[in-house]
Structure 1
Amino acid sequence: MAELVLDPESHFPEELGIYFWLYPYWDQVSVRGCGYMVRWGTPPLVISILKFTPLAFMVTWNAHPGFTIPHTNLCDFIVGNGAAPVDLPLGFSNIPPQRYPEAPGDEGIVLHTPLAYIAERSK
């Protein structure tokens, strides 16, 4: 990943997925390298999450082909080395719950280190 960021001539690898969605909440979330499973018996998806108003991002690497992610993949819009401006679609419907995907509830499990954090707005 460092080479991708530091070398302006590098191209985005096919294994990389950068998904984004509208995030209309005050809390900020940062989780690096957690394991995300939605069904027992399937391989976990290794993801990193960064969420702050107005967008949330989920970075994946080499996702299992059977794993469906219901968000727009930023990598599908990258031309060449990613320096060219593009128009990105941003859906205002199908907004996931506030704690998705870091706390999936009954439909899955997420394993992460104590370095993950959530910054909440004080009341």
Structure 2
Amino acid sequence: MRSIWGHLAAVGVDRYLKGPRTEEWRDFFLDERLPVPADVNFYYWIYPYRRQALVRDAGSLDIGNGGKAMYWLMKFYPLAFAVWMPQNDWRLDYRDLVTYRTSSPDEVVNVMVDLAPVPHELTLEAPTTTQAIMFGRDSIVANSRAPRGQILKV
């Protein structure tokens, strides 16, 4: 979780905005004994696409369920991650890395990855019929190149 958060925190140039949770997040990142900040989910899902995305400071409003959340998003084959910070009880239907948190950062745990159903490539980037999504100033999207030559099967 720290490496995911660290990658997303690094999105943006010369960026260190102070906010109500800045110190709490900094302390979590630097001290491996501290718990994940309260009311935060680290959702993950299978992402079998070449398109890559890093999104910082996005917000979503779901008119259908009244959900409101701020989130950071990272999508690279084969997994996508969302650091989800809901402002109410809005939860997503993905597995959450927070449930695998252990007391020791050196402990190895088996993490479940659902191979089906495969979410849409633009999950949390394009709104559904009941959602509105807003992005902050730092978002990066790129397509990786197709493999060159032949792929050898072993």
1:27 aligns with 2:16: no
Aligned pairs for 1:72-91 within 5 A: 72-91=95-114
How many residue pairs match? The answer is 122
State the shift of 1:55 in Å: 0.4
Give distance in 2, aligned partners of 1:114 and 1:122.
26
State the shift of 1:105 in Å: 3.9
Name the TM-score, length of structure 2 as normaliser.
0.71
Are residues 62 and 107 of structure 1, via their aligned partners in 2, closer, same or farther at CA, if it must alter by over 3 Å? closer
**Other structure's SS at 1:106 match:** coil
1:119 aligns with 2:142: yes
**Other structure's SS at 2:41 match:** strand
Instruction: Tell me if the contact between 1:19 and 1:73 (Cα under 8 Å) persists in the aligned partners.
Output: yes
Give distance in 2, aligned partners of 1:12 and 1:90.
21
**Other structure's SS at 1:2 match:** helix
Report which structure shows greater RCO (CA 8 Å, sep ≥6): 1
> What stretches of structure 2 of length at least 5 have no aligned partner?
1-24, 147-154
Residue type of the alignment partner of 2:136: T
Q: Which sits farther off after the overlay, 75-84 or 48-57?
A: 75-84
Select 1:38's aligned residue among 38, 50, 62: 62
Are residues 11 and 113 of structure 1, via their aligned partners in 2, closer, same or farther at CA, if it must alter by over 3 Å? closer
1:7 aligns with 2:31: yes
Name the TM-score, length of structure 1 as normaliser.
0.87
Give distance in 1, aligned partners of 2:87 and 2:106.
25
**2:9 matched residue in structure 1:** none
Residue type of the alignment partner of 1:12: V
Residue type of the alignment partner of 2:116: S
> What stretches of structure 1 of length at least 5 have no aligned partner?
none
Larger Rg: 2
Identity fraction in percent: 21
